Structures are given as C-alpha cells and as structure tokens.
Amino acid sequence: MNKDIQEKAQLLNQWILSQESVIEYKKYAHIVEANEDLKKKEVLLKAMQKKIINTKAKQEPSEELVKEYLKLKNEFDEHPLIMNYLISKEEVNELVQSIQNDINQQINKNVD
C-alpha cells in the first residue's frame, strides 16, 4: 500500500477512535463482556436458538421453546447495559457508514 495512503488511513483510524461514540461503545462493550450474568444469558440464548432450529428441521413442535426463548431474549435486550451497548453500537455503525459514504462521494467526484 502506498505510504501516503497508509499514513492517512492511520490518521483516520486515530480520529475514529477518538470520537465520543466510539469511546462510549468500547466502554459498554467492555462492561457487557465482563458481566457474567449477561454472558450466561447470551450463551443460553444461543443454545436455545440452535435447539429451535433443530426442532423445526425435525418438524417437532417447538412452540413452548420459542415462547421461552422470546421471553429470555426480551429480558436480555431490555437490560440497561445491553440497551446502551446496542445504541452505542448503532451510533458507531452510523459514523462508519457516514465516513464510507463521504469517501465514495469523493471518489465519484474525482471520476466525473
């Protein structure tokens, strides 16, 4: 990669990492990752998803399992840490999308 491009990419990376939304996201990601209760619930949810897929593939009734899964998923999603984590994650995604759109617009300007 061109050295000038690499330097500019590093500057952009540093700028992105210094943004409040990214700092907030990293903070919540660390807190969520360190929370044992949330980790256990996430593992349980993933196991339940697999079980639901397997029962549907075998055409076995899974209504009760789906209800139980949805209840636990709702509890998980409504946990304040998860809510804040997901909001901050969305903000970071919007920032990255915005940067990507700006870069694409600049490229298209230079092509025309």
Render pLDDT for 6-32 as a digit per residue (tens, 0 to 9): 999 999 999 999 999 999 999 999 999
CA distances for 67 relative to 42, 48, 56, 74, angstroms = 16, 11, 14, 11
Is the predicted pLDDT of residue 103 greater than 80, yes or no? yes
Using alpha carbons, select from 88, 86, 89, 79 the residue that is nearest to residue 41. Answer: 79
Please state the rounded mean pLDDT for residues 29-41: 95
Which pLDDT value is given to residue 6? 92
Q: Tell me, what's the pLDDT at 56?
A: 82
Question: Average pLDDT in the 94-109 region?
Answer: 92
In angstroms, the first-to-last Cα distance of the chain is: 25
pLDDT for residue 83 is more than 90: yes
pLDDT given for residue 107 in this prediction: 87
Domain boundaries, the chain: 25-103
